[in-house]
Structure 1
Protein backbone atom coordinates (compact mmCIF):
# COMPACT_ATOMS: atom_id res chain seq x y z
CA UNK A 1 0.00 0.00 0.00
CA UNK A 2 1.12 3.56 -0.71
CA UNK A 3 0.08 6.41 1.54
CA UNK A 4 -0.11 9.80 -0.12
CA UNK A 5 -0.02 12.68 2.35
CA UNK A 6 -1.41 15.63 0.41
CA UNK A 7 -0.30 18.91 1.98
CA UNK A 8 -1.78 22.14 0.71
CA UNK A 9 0.84 24.86 0.31
CA UNK A 10 1.01 27.79 2.72
CA UNK A 11 -1.11 30.92 2.28
CA UNK A 12 -0.56 33.38 -0.56
CA UNK A 13 -2.97 36.07 0.71
CA UNK A 14 -4.27 36.53 -2.82
CA UNK A 15 -7.91 37.62 -3.10
CA UNK A 16 -8.28 36.53 -6.72
CA UNK A 17 -8.23 33.33 -8.73
CA UNK A 18 -4.74 31.85 -8.47
CA UNK A 19 -4.23 28.86 -10.68
CA UNK A 20 -0.97 28.34 -12.47
CA UNK A 21 0.17 31.93 -11.97
CA UNK A 22 3.29 31.77 -9.81
CA UNK A 23 2.87 33.74 -6.58
CA UNK A 24 4.93 33.71 -3.36
CA UNK A 25 3.88 31.90 -0.22
CA UNK A 26 3.82 33.15 3.37
CA UNK A 27 5.94 30.82 5.51
CA UNK A 28 6.15 33.07 8.56
CA UNK A 29 4.25 30.68 10.89
CA UNK A 30 7.26 28.53 11.68
CA UNK A 31 5.55 26.86 14.66
CA UNK A 32 2.73 25.60 12.42
CA UNK A 33 5.22 24.46 9.79
CA UNK A 34 7.13 22.49 12.45
CA UNK A 35 3.88 20.84 13.65
CA UNK A 36 2.93 19.88 10.08
CA UNK A 37 6.38 18.42 9.45
CA UNK A 38 6.26 16.46 12.72
CA UNK A 39 2.83 15.01 11.81
CA UNK A 40 4.19 13.51 8.59
CA UNK A 41 6.08 10.20 8.31
CA UNK A 42 9.81 10.73 8.83
CA UNK A 43 10.93 8.48 5.95
CA UNK A 44 8.40 9.63 3.37
CA UNK A 45 9.46 10.96 0.01
CA UNK A 46 8.63 14.64 -0.60
CA UNK A 47 7.40 15.98 -3.92
CA UNK A 48 5.68 19.20 -4.92
CA UNK A 49 4.14 20.91 -7.89
CA UNK A 50 6.58 23.09 -9.79
CA UNK A 51 4.96 26.34 -8.63
CA UNK A 52 6.89 28.43 -6.10
CA UNK A 53 4.23 28.32 -3.39
CA UNK A 54 4.38 24.51 -3.33
CA UNK A 55 8.15 24.24 -3.80
CA UNK A 56 8.83 26.59 -0.89
CA UNK A 57 6.26 24.88 1.35
CA UNK A 58 7.78 21.48 0.56
CA UNK A 59 11.23 22.79 1.43
CA UNK A 60 9.90 24.19 4.72
CA UNK A 61 8.39 20.85 5.83
CA UNK A 62 10.97 18.52 4.26
CA UNK A 63 13.35 18.07 7.19
CA UNK A 64 15.65 15.07 6.55
CA UNK A 65 13.26 13.45 4.07
CA UNK A 66 14.29 12.61 0.51
CA UNK A 67 13.12 15.15 -2.04
CA UNK A 68 11.90 14.16 -5.50
CA UNK A 69 11.92 16.52 -8.51
CA UNK A 70 9.04 19.00 -8.80
CA UNK A 71 6.06 17.82 -10.86
CA UNK A 72 4.18 20.02 -13.33
CA UNK A 73 1.29 17.54 -13.21
CA UNK A 74 0.57 18.45 -9.58
CA UNK A 75 -0.16 22.10 -10.41
CA UNK A 76 -3.38 23.89 -9.53
CA UNK A 77 -6.18 24.12 -12.08
CA UNK A 78 -5.42 26.36 -15.05
CA UNK A 79 -8.00 29.14 -14.69
CA UNK A 80 -7.07 30.70 -18.03
CA UNK A 81 -8.59 34.17 -18.46
CA UNK A 82 -9.90 34.09 -14.88
CA UNK A 83 -6.46 33.88 -13.25
CA UNK A 84 -5.77 37.11 -11.38
CA UNK A 85 -9.41 38.25 -11.41
CA UNK A 86 -11.62 38.57 -8.35
CA UNK A 87 -14.53 36.14 -8.15
CA UNK A 88 -17.00 39.01 -8.53
CA UNK A 89 -15.30 40.11 -11.76
CA UNK A 90 -15.55 36.60 -13.17
CA UNK A 91 -19.23 36.34 -12.20
CA UNK A 92 -19.98 39.72 -13.79
CA UNK A 93 -18.14 39.03 -17.06
CA UNK A 94 -19.06 35.33 -17.45
CA UNK A 95 -22.22 34.84 -15.33
CA UNK A 96 -23.51 31.63 -16.93
CA UNK A 97 -20.08 30.07 -17.42
CA UNK A 98 -18.90 30.85 -13.89
CA UNK A 99 -22.10 29.44 -12.40
CA UNK A 100 -21.79 26.26 -14.49
CA UNK A 101 -18.11 25.91 -13.53
CA UNK A 102 -18.99 25.68 -9.82
CA UNK A 103 -22.43 24.06 -9.97
CA UNK A 104 -21.70 21.43 -12.62
CA UNK A 105 -17.94 20.88 -12.55
CA UNK A 106 -16.77 18.34 -15.06
CA UNK A 107 -16.20 19.45 -18.64
CA UNK A 108 -16.88 23.17 -18.09
CA UNK A 109 -13.69 25.25 -18.42
CA UNK A 110 -12.82 28.94 -18.10
CA UNK A 111 -11.76 30.64 -21.34
CA UNK A 112 -8.26 29.36 -22.09
CA UNK A 113 -8.29 27.21 -18.94
CA UNK A 114 -8.98 23.62 -18.02
CA UNK A 115 -12.02 21.77 -16.77
CA UNK A 116 -12.27 19.67 -13.62
CA UNK A 117 -12.06 16.50 -15.71
CA UNK A 118 -8.92 17.67 -17.51
CA UNK A 119 -7.21 18.71 -14.26
CA UNK A 120 -8.26 15.49 -12.49
CA UNK A 121 -6.85 13.35 -15.30
CA UNK A 122 -3.56 15.30 -15.18
CA UNK A 123 -3.15 15.03 -11.40
CA UNK A 124 -4.21 11.36 -11.30
CA UNK A 125 -1.76 10.42 -14.07
CA UNK A 126 1.08 12.21 -12.30
CA UNK A 127 0.45 10.68 -8.87
CA UNK A 128 -0.03 7.25 -10.45
CA UNK A 129 3.40 7.60 -12.11
CA UNK A 130 4.91 8.48 -8.72
CA UNK A 131 3.30 5.48 -7.04
CA UNK A 132 4.56 3.15 -9.77
CA UNK A 133 8.07 4.61 -9.54
CA UNK A 134 8.10 4.31 -5.72
CA UNK A 135 5.86 1.37 -4.80
CA UNK A 136 4.82 1.00 -1.18
CA UNK A 137 6.57 4.21 -0.15
CA UNK A 138 4.89 6.97 1.79
CA UNK A 139 4.77 10.11 -0.36
CA UNK A 140 4.21 13.67 0.83
CA UNK A 141 2.76 15.61 -2.11
CA UNK A 142 2.69 19.38 -1.60
CA UNK A 143 0.10 20.74 -3.98
CA UNK A 144 -2.96 22.94 -4.37
CA UNK A 145 -6.60 23.11 -3.34
CA UNK A 146 -8.01 21.93 -6.68
CA UNK A 147 -5.39 19.24 -7.27
CA UNK A 148 -6.05 17.76 -3.83
CA UNK A 149 -9.82 17.91 -4.30
CA UNK A 150 -9.59 15.90 -7.52
CA UNK A 151 -7.98 13.11 -5.53
CA UNK A 152 -10.52 13.38 -2.71
CA UNK A 153 -13.28 12.95 -5.30
CA UNK A 154 -11.57 9.95 -6.86
CA UNK A 155 -10.75 8.34 -3.51
CA UNK A 156 -14.15 8.96 -1.99
CA UNK A 157 -16.09 7.95 -5.08
CA UNK A 158 -17.91 11.28 -4.97
CA UNK A 159 -18.78 13.80 -7.65
CA UNK A 160 -16.67 16.90 -8.29
CA UNK A 161 -19.55 19.01 -6.98
CA UNK A 162 -19.55 17.03 -3.72
CA UNK A 163 -15.77 17.30 -3.47
CA UNK A 164 -15.99 21.10 -3.69
CA UNK A 165 -17.75 21.10 -0.31
CA UNK A 166 -14.60 19.73 1.36
CA UNK A 167 -12.37 22.13 3.21
CA UNK A 168 -8.69 21.97 2.30
CA UNK A 169 -6.94 24.66 4.34
CA UNK A 170 -3.40 25.90 3.84
CA UNK A 171 -0.95 23.48 5.49
CA UNK A 172 -3.69 20.86 5.92
CA UNK A 173 -2.84 17.17 5.49
CA UNK A 174 -5.14 14.80 3.60
CA UNK A 175 -4.01 11.17 3.70
CA UNK A 176 -5.15 8.90 0.89
CA UNK A 177 -4.18 5.24 1.07
CA UNK A 178 -3.72 3.54 -2.29
CA UNK A 179 -3.56 -0.17 -3.02
CA UNK A 180 -1.60 -1.04 -6.16
CA UNK A 181 -4.25 -3.26 -7.73
CA UNK A 182 -7.44 -2.24 -5.98
CA UNK A 183 -7.28 1.54 -6.06
CA UNK A 184 -8.07 3.66 -3.05
CA UNK A 185 -8.47 2.21 0.41
CA UNK A 186 -9.55 5.24 2.44
CA UNK A 187 -9.12 8.94 3.13
CA UNK A 188 -8.01 10.47 6.42
CA UNK A 189 -7.93 14.19 7.24
CA UNK A 190 -5.24 14.93 9.78
CA UNK A 191 -5.57 17.95 12.09
Structure 2
Protein backbone atom coordinates (compact mmCIF):
# COMPACT_ATOMS: atom_id res chain seq x y z
CA UNK A 1 0.00 0.00 0.00
CA UNK A 2 2.35 2.73 -1.24
CA UNK A 3 0.30 4.41 -3.98
CA UNK A 4 -1.19 7.80 -3.04
CA UNK A 5 -4.98 7.98 -2.74
CA UNK A 6 -7.56 10.45 -1.48
CA UNK A 7 -10.72 9.14 0.15
CA UNK A 8 -13.68 11.52 0.26
CA UNK A 9 -15.72 10.18 3.18
CA UNK A 10 -19.38 11.23 3.12
CA UNK A 11 -21.64 10.47 6.05
CA UNK A 12 -25.04 9.18 4.93
CA UNK A 13 -28.20 11.28 5.13
CA UNK A 14 -29.99 11.54 8.49
CA UNK A 15 -32.23 8.77 9.79
CA UNK A 16 -33.76 10.83 12.64
CA UNK A 17 -33.53 7.75 14.90
CA UNK A 18 -32.98 8.53 18.57
CA UNK A 19 -31.53 5.10 19.28
CA UNK A 20 -28.23 3.25 18.90
CA UNK A 21 -28.30 2.56 15.16
CA UNK A 22 -25.56 0.32 13.83
CA UNK A 23 -26.67 -2.48 11.53
CA UNK A 24 -30.38 -1.62 11.73
CA UNK A 25 -31.27 -0.95 8.11
CA UNK A 26 -33.04 2.40 8.29
CA UNK A 27 -33.66 4.69 5.30
CA UNK A 28 -32.02 8.10 4.95
CA UNK A 29 -33.94 11.36 4.81
CA UNK A 30 -32.66 12.93 1.59
CA UNK A 31 -35.28 15.66 1.33
CA UNK A 32 -32.73 18.52 1.50
CA UNK A 33 -32.20 18.74 -2.27
CA UNK A 34 -30.15 21.95 -2.02
CA UNK A 35 -27.65 20.27 0.34
CA UNK A 36 -27.38 17.27 -1.98
CA UNK A 37 -26.80 19.56 -4.98
CA UNK A 38 -23.99 21.36 -3.12
CA UNK A 39 -22.48 18.04 -2.06
CA UNK A 40 -22.57 16.66 -5.62
CA UNK A 41 -20.92 19.83 -6.94
CA UNK A 42 -18.19 19.74 -4.26
CA UNK A 43 -17.16 16.11 -4.74
CA UNK A 44 -14.60 15.12 -7.40
CA UNK A 45 -15.43 13.18 -10.52
CA UNK A 46 -14.48 9.89 -8.89
CA UNK A 47 -16.00 6.45 -8.32
CA UNK A 48 -18.50 6.07 -5.47
CA UNK A 49 -18.52 3.15 -3.05
CA UNK A 50 -20.68 2.70 0.02
CA UNK A 51 -21.73 0.48 2.88
CA UNK A 52 -24.40 -2.06 1.99
CA UNK A 53 -26.86 -0.55 4.50
CA UNK A 54 -29.88 1.20 2.97
CA UNK A 55 -29.12 4.70 4.30
CA UNK A 56 -25.64 4.61 2.76
CA UNK A 57 -26.83 3.14 -0.56
CA UNK A 58 -29.57 5.76 -0.86
CA UNK A 59 -27.11 8.55 -0.13
CA UNK A 60 -24.59 7.14 -2.62
CA UNK A 61 -27.32 7.04 -5.27
CA UNK A 62 -28.21 10.66 -4.49
CA UNK A 63 -24.65 12.00 -4.77
CA UNK A 64 -23.31 9.80 -7.55
CA UNK A 65 -24.81 11.66 -10.50
CA UNK A 66 -22.89 10.33 -13.50
CA UNK A 67 -19.98 9.04 -11.42
CA UNK A 68 -19.12 5.34 -11.66
CA UNK A 69 -20.44 3.15 -8.85
CA UNK A 70 -18.42 0.43 -7.18
CA UNK A 71 -20.09 -2.52 -5.47
CA UNK A 72 -21.38 -1.84 -1.94
CA UNK A 73 -19.09 -3.23 0.77
CA UNK A 74 -20.50 -4.83 3.94
CA UNK A 75 -17.18 -4.06 5.68
CA UNK A 76 -18.08 -0.34 5.52
CA UNK A 77 -21.09 -0.87 7.80
CA UNK A 78 -21.46 1.04 11.06
CA UNK A 79 -20.34 -0.65 14.29
CA UNK A 80 -22.62 -3.52 15.30
CA UNK A 81 -24.28 -2.66 18.62
CA UNK A 82 -25.51 -6.21 19.32
CA UNK A 83 -28.27 -6.23 21.97
CA UNK A 84 -27.98 -2.44 22.24
CA UNK A 85 -29.05 -2.12 18.62
CA UNK A 86 -31.98 0.25 18.01
CA UNK A 87 -32.45 0.98 21.73
CA UNK A 88 -32.31 4.41 23.42
CA UNK A 89 -29.06 5.27 25.19
CA UNK A 90 -30.79 5.99 28.52
CA UNK A 91 -32.34 2.52 28.55
CA UNK A 92 -29.00 0.83 27.84
CA UNK A 93 -27.19 2.94 30.44
CA UNK A 94 -29.80 2.10 33.09
CA UNK A 95 -29.43 -1.61 32.32
CA UNK A 96 -25.62 -1.84 32.28
CA UNK A 97 -23.97 1.47 33.28
CA UNK A 98 -20.50 0.00 33.82
CA UNK A 99 -20.27 -1.53 30.35
CA UNK A 100 -21.78 1.58 28.74
CA UNK A 101 -19.18 3.83 30.32
CA UNK A 102 -16.36 1.46 29.41
CA UNK A 103 -17.60 1.24 25.81
CA UNK A 104 -17.32 5.03 25.37
CA UNK A 105 -14.58 5.99 27.85
CA UNK A 106 -12.11 3.14 27.28
CA UNK A 107 -12.89 1.90 23.78
CA UNK A 108 -10.87 -0.92 22.39
CA UNK A 109 -11.89 -4.45 23.24
CA UNK A 110 -15.15 -3.52 25.02
CA UNK A 111 -18.22 -4.50 23.01
CA UNK A 112 -21.95 -4.31 23.47
CA UNK A 113 -23.38 -7.73 24.37
CA UNK A 114 -23.42 -9.68 21.10
CA UNK A 115 -21.90 -6.69 19.32
CA UNK A 116 -18.62 -5.45 17.97
CA UNK A 117 -15.74 -3.71 19.75
CA UNK A 118 -14.04 -0.55 18.52
CA UNK A 119 -10.90 -2.57 17.74
CA UNK A 120 -12.94 -5.01 15.64
CA UNK A 121 -14.60 -2.13 13.77
CA UNK A 122 -11.20 -0.55 13.05
CA UNK A 123 -9.80 -3.83 11.72
CA UNK A 124 -12.86 -4.37 9.51
CA UNK A 125 -12.81 -0.84 8.06
CA UNK A 126 -9.03 -0.83 7.60
CA UNK A 127 -9.43 -4.04 5.61
CA UNK A 128 -12.06 -2.43 3.39
CA UNK A 129 -9.82 0.60 2.82
CA UNK A 130 -6.89 -1.69 1.94
CA UNK A 131 -9.11 -3.48 -0.60
CA UNK A 132 -10.00 -0.13 -2.22
CA UNK A 133 -6.43 1.13 -2.21
CA UNK A 134 -4.70 1.34 -5.56
CA UNK A 135 -7.89 1.12 -7.63
CA UNK A 136 -8.30 4.88 -8.18
CA UNK A 137 -6.58 8.15 -7.21
CA UNK A 138 -9.77 9.51 -5.62
CA UNK A 139 -12.69 7.52 -4.23
CA UNK A 140 -15.92 8.82 -2.70
CA UNK A 141 -16.87 6.58 0.23
CA UNK A 142 -20.40 6.90 1.66
CA UNK A 143 -20.44 5.43 5.13
CA UNK A 144 -21.27 5.98 8.80
CA UNK A 145 -20.19 8.04 11.82
CA UNK A 146 -18.13 5.31 13.52
CA UNK A 147 -16.58 4.15 10.26
CA UNK A 148 -15.38 7.66 9.44
CA UNK A 149 -14.06 8.14 12.99
CA UNK A 150 -11.91 4.99 12.66
CA UNK A 151 -10.15 6.58 9.72
CA UNK A 152 -9.75 9.96 11.42
CA UNK A 153 -8.19 8.13 14.36
CA UNK A 154 -5.80 6.37 11.99
CA UNK A 155 -4.89 9.56 10.09
CA UNK A 156 -4.30 11.61 13.23
CA UNK A 157 -2.68 8.81 15.25
CA UNK A 158 -4.83 9.59 18.29
CA UNK A 159 -6.61 7.39 20.83
CA UNK A 160 -10.18 6.45 19.94
CA UNK A 161 -11.63 8.26 22.93
CA UNK A 162 -10.08 11.51 21.64
CA UNK A 163 -11.84 11.25 18.30
CA UNK A 164 -15.27 10.38 19.77
CA UNK A 165 -15.96 14.07 20.40
CA UNK A 166 -15.35 14.90 16.73
CA UNK A 167 -18.65 15.80 15.07
CA UNK A 168 -19.37 14.12 11.75
CA UNK A 169 -22.59 15.64 10.47
CA UNK A 170 -24.91 13.89 8.08
CA UNK A 171 -23.99 14.70 4.46
CA UNK A 172 -20.62 16.13 5.55
CA UNK A 173 -17.31 15.41 3.81
CA UNK A 174 -14.12 14.25 5.49
CA UNK A 175 -11.18 14.11 3.08
CA UNK A 176 -8.27 11.86 4.03
CA UNK A 177 -5.15 11.51 1.91
CA UNK A 178 -2.55 8.76 1.86
CA UNK A 179 0.73 10.11 0.45
CA UNK A 180 2.39 6.73 -0.02
CA UNK A 181 3.72 6.61 3.53
CA UNK A 182 1.06 7.87 5.95
CA UNK A 183 -2.51 9.08 6.17
CA UNK A 184 -3.40 12.69 6.90
CA UNK A 185 -6.69 14.46 7.48
CA UNK A 186 -7.09 17.30 4.97
CA UNK A 187 -10.71 18.20 5.76
CA UNK A 188 -13.00 16.97 8.53
CA UNK A 189 -16.77 17.40 8.74
CA UNK A 190 -17.05 19.94 5.91
CA UNK A 191 -20.62 20.82 4.88
CA UNK A 192 -20.54 22.15 1.32
- TM value normalised by structure 2: 0.95
> CA deviation digits over 1:73-92, x for unaligned, max 9?
00000000000110000100
CA distance in 2, matches of 1:118, 1:92: 25
Return the offset for 1:188: 1.4
Q: What does residue range 125-140 of structure 1 map to in structure 2 within 5 Å?
A: 125-132=127-134, 134-135=135-136, 137-140=137-140
- Contact kept in structure 1, 2:152 and 2:185, CA below 8 Å: no
Return the offset for 1:185: 3.4
CA distance in 2, matches of 1:147, 1:52: 15
Matched with 2:115 is 113
- Contact kept in structure 2, 1:50 and 1:71, CA below 8 Å: yes
Q: Give the alignment's Cα RMSD to 1 decimal.
A: 0.9
Matched with 1:72 is 74
Runs (5+) with no aligned partner, structure 1: none
CA distance in 2, matches of 1:110, 1:187: 32
Aligned length: 187
Matched with 2:24 is 21
Return the offset for 1:153: 0.2
> CA deviation digits over 1:142-186, x for unaligned, max 9?
000000000000001111000101000000000000133x12133
- Contact kept in structure 1, 2:84 and 2:112, CA below 8 Å: yes
Runs (5+) with no aligned partner, structure 2: none
Return the offset for 1:128: 1.1
Q: What does residue range 134-153 of structure 1 map to in structure 2 within 5 Å?
A: 134-135=135-136, 137-153=137-153
CA distance in 2, matches of 1:186, 1:116: 20
> CA deviation digits over 1:60-99, x for unaligned, max 9?
0001111000000000000000001100001001110000
